Each structure stands twice: as C-alpha cells, then as structure tokens.
Structure 1
Amino acid sequence: MALSLPGERSVVAGSHVNPVRGLFTWFAQAKAARARRKALRELLSLDAALLKDLGVSRADVLDAMTPRDGRTAGMVLNAARARNARG
C-alpha cells in the first residue's frame, strides 16, 4: 500500500476525466453516425444516371457504408469520384 503525504493528491483526483462530457461526446458521435447512414441510404435511393452524374456508382456507395482502414465514407466516395473521372 502506498502512502501519500498530506499535500499530495491521488492520481484519480488529478484526472481530467468528466463522465458527463464523455456521455455528450458519445451522443454527438452516435448522432453524426446516424446522419451519415441516412445520407448514404438516400444516395442508394437515387437511380444509376444520377449517381453517374455525381461520379459514383451504387457499388461505391455500398463500399462507403462500411469504410475500413480508418477511412471515412467521404474519403471512400471522393476516391471513387476521382477514380471514375480518370477512367
């Protein structure tokens, strides 16, 4: 058991963790994720011609719905638009 001097604070007392802030952060992230899923579903509801005008295909949108390797949905769609513009 470690002894502390009267003027020392414990590690927990010096921590800057705020559970309320963590809860609000979690809610904000969940809300943003829901908005992204809704936007991607709206893209899937467009017909192929409109998607082609946007520079993406239905397969690109499906890939963006499950981004991997730390890439966001926007990064996946931007890469698809650049790839489709070249080809």
Structure 2
Amino acid sequence: MALSLPGERSVAAGSHVTPIRRLFAWIAQVKANRARRTALRGLLDLDTARLKDLGIERSDIAEAMTARNGRTPGMVLNAARARNARA
C-alpha cells in the first residue's frame, strides 16, 4: 500500500482527462470513422480498370472496411497494393 504525503496529489487528481474531453475525443473518432467509410465507399464506385491502376481489387476494399485487430483500412489496402504489385 502506498502512502501519500500531505502535499501530494493522487494520480486521478492530476489527470487531464475530463468527461468533456472524452466526449470530444469520441465525437472526433466518430467523424473520422464516417469519413473513412465514405472514402472506402467511393473506392467501390470506381470501375475495375481504375482499381487495377491503383493496385487493389474490390475484395481488398471489402477487407479494409472490416479491418480489425489493430489493422487500419490503410494498412490493409497498402498490403494489398504490395501483394498485387508482385503478382
């Protein structure tokens, strides 16, 4: 058990994360996710030849839309471009 001296503040008291900051961070995250989904949907609207020029396929876009486990959509698409460049 740790003891605090009278002049010390607890870790929680020194934290700069307030409910308002959490709210703003959550709103920013929602906006970023929406923009990302819109961009990926825009890629789905491109024709197959244009996607081939970009080095990706429709299945790569679908995989990017469901990226999980620390992978971002950009990481998924970059890996697909690298894989397709070797083929």
Q: Indicate the TM-score class for this superposition, using the shorter chain for normalisation.
A: 0.7 to 0.9
Residues in 2 aligned to 1:10 and 1:36: alpha-carbon distance in whole angstroms: 39
Change (3 A) 1:7 1:40: same
- Using the size of structure 2 for normalisation, the TM-score is 0.84
Residues in 2 aligned to 1:11 and 1:77: alpha-carbon distance in whole angstroms: 41
User: What is aligned with 1:78?
Assistant: 78
Confirm or deny that 1:48 pairs with 2:63.
Answer: no
Q: Which runs of 4+ in 1 moved over 2 A?
A: 5-17
How far off its partner does 1:69 sit? 1.9
Deviations 1:14-67 (A, max 9, x none): 443311111100000000000000000000010100000000000000000000
Q: Which runs of 5+ in 2 are unaligned?
A: none
Q: Which amino acid aligns with 1:34?
A: R
Residues in 2 aligned to 1:78 and 1:10: alpha-carbon distance in whole angstroms: 44
Aligned length: 84
- Matched ranges for 1:22-61 at <5 A: 22-61=22-61
How far off its partner does 1:68 sit? 2.1
Residues in 2 aligned to 1:54 and 1:10: alpha-carbon distance in whole angstroms: 53
Change (3 A) 1:82 1:11: closer
